[in-house]
Amino acid sequence: MARPHIEPFCDRDISFKNMALPGFRQGFRYKMLSLDTDTGACTMTVQLDGGYKQPPGFSWSELELLVIEGEMNWGDKKVGKGHYFFAPAGYAMPSISTQQGCLLLMMYNTGEPSLVESDRHHPLCRVDRFHETDSYNDIPWALGNVTKPSVASGCLIKLLNYNDRSHALTFLYCMTPDFWQDNISYHDCAEESYHLWGTSWMMQFGDVPTGGYFWRPAYINHGAFASQYGCIALGRTDSKLFNHFHYNPWSTPEENQLRSAARIAQRDPELYKWIIQYGHNHPHGPEDFEDSMLRIGGSRNERQDQHHDHSHDHDHAHDHDHEHGHSHDHDHGHSHG
């Protein structure tokens, strides 16, 4: 998911825009939180005005939807705050309407927002993947051990969706009052979060309030963490979530990336061979790898020598301007599909 680093950001600071794409009715207004300019995949907060009605139809993109506030009619079923839907691409959703209006979080994962009027699923739709749940009432909170190693006690998880191919996750998480975790972490995956209620704090980025959002590419330091009164948020990753914990706030994404590669080479040499053979997001090449690890202070006991036939350099500079007024200039040493 080729989206720039957006953090910190709060959707309360921007105004809604009218949706102008084909298929959407008047009364569908949105705030763009993040956008993949290559595919059109995006995350939006959406306001459906009172009286809004939308006919049955499907999207060409995989869609996730969470009701933030208000009530919505999903066909003959009325759903409220905390209700979650996962609709695979081509899944014919029933008519959608709202009498008083509602606020939604909508995530188009594989393409731009689209709506094709139809009461039948697309022939190639993986219909079995559709699911829905009242996430606030039907799923119990569990210890935050969906991630490895686990986070500090006081952070709880409700798993909403798991992709068995990419290992991508969608989940609710909460921090209990006076939550505190004093270390710093980074991941091999991109992650995003939207604060549904409450405020948390991160050392690098300050307070994340209600409506606070981030899209964070891989290998970016974040933490320590705290929440005085607690918070509830929706979180997502684009692949397996592994916590690399440390205590150096000044390490760069490139250094974090190299350390992650060294740990994979030590922990799972066969996986490491697969990564470098198929052009994943880790740099490689024996001289380049060894010299880089020595430069950032890695010991030879932390590494295993690997012999490879080729190497790649993945240093790309991207400058992105977003319609909510932020310009982000980043050098990325990785890419996610």
Note whether 64 and 97 are same-domain residues: yes
Residue 292 forms part of a structural domain: no
Residue 21 forms part of a structural domain: yes
Note whether 113 and 176 are same-domain residues: no
- Spell out the long-range contacts of 20-28 with Cβ–Cβ below 8 A and sequence spacing 24 or more: 21/112, 21/113, 21/114, 21/115, 22/114, 22/115, 23/57, 23/114, 23/115, 23/116, 23/117, 24/54, 24/113, 24/115, 25/52, 25/53, 25/54, 27/51, 27/52, 28/52, 28/54
Amino acid at the residue 88: P
Note whether 235 and 150 are same-domain residues: yes
Model confidence band, residue 66 (pLDDT cutoffs 50, 70, 90): very high
For residues 109-120, average pLDDT: 97
Residue 324 forms part of a structural domain: no
Note whether 57 and 146 are same-domain residues: no
Residue 3 forms part of a structural domain: no
Note whether 127 and 227 are same-domain residues: no
Note whether 115 and 180 are same-domain residues: no
Residue 312 forms part of a structural domain: no
Residue 2 forms part of a structural domain: no
Residue ending a domain, among 269, 301, 319, is 269
Residue 285 forms part of a structural domain: no
User: How far apart, in whole angstroms, are the C-alpha atoms of residue 324 and residue 118?
Assistant: 33
Measured in whole angstroms, the distance separating CA 18 from the mean position of its chain's CA atoms is 24
Q: Could you tell me the residue range of the domain that residue 92 belongs to? A: 10-134
Residue 75 forms part of a structural domain: yes
Residue ending a domain, among 99, 118, 134, is 134
- CATH number of the domain that 235 lies in? 2.60.120.10
Domain count, the chain: 2
Note whether 70 and 159 are same-domain residues: no
User: How far apart, in whole angstroms, are the C-alpha atoms of residue 220 and residue 205?
Assistant: 12
Note whether 173 and 106 are same-domain residues: no
- Provide CB contacts within 8 A for 301, sequence distance 6+: none
Note whether 103 and 80 are same-domain residues: yes
User: How far apart, in whole angstroms, are the C-alpha atoms of residue 258 and residue 324?
Assistant: 33
List pLDDT tens digits, range 259-277: 998 888 887 788 677 766 6
- The pTM score is 0.80
DSSP string, 39-65: T--EEEEEEEPTT-EE-SEE-SS-EEE
**Which comes out higher in pLDDT, residue 197 or 145?**
197
- Which pLDDT value is given to residue 168? 94
Residue ending a domain, among 134, 160, 176, is 134
Q: Are 72 and 51 in contact (CB under 8 A)?
A: no
Question: Does residue 115 surpass a pLDDT of 90?
Answer: yes
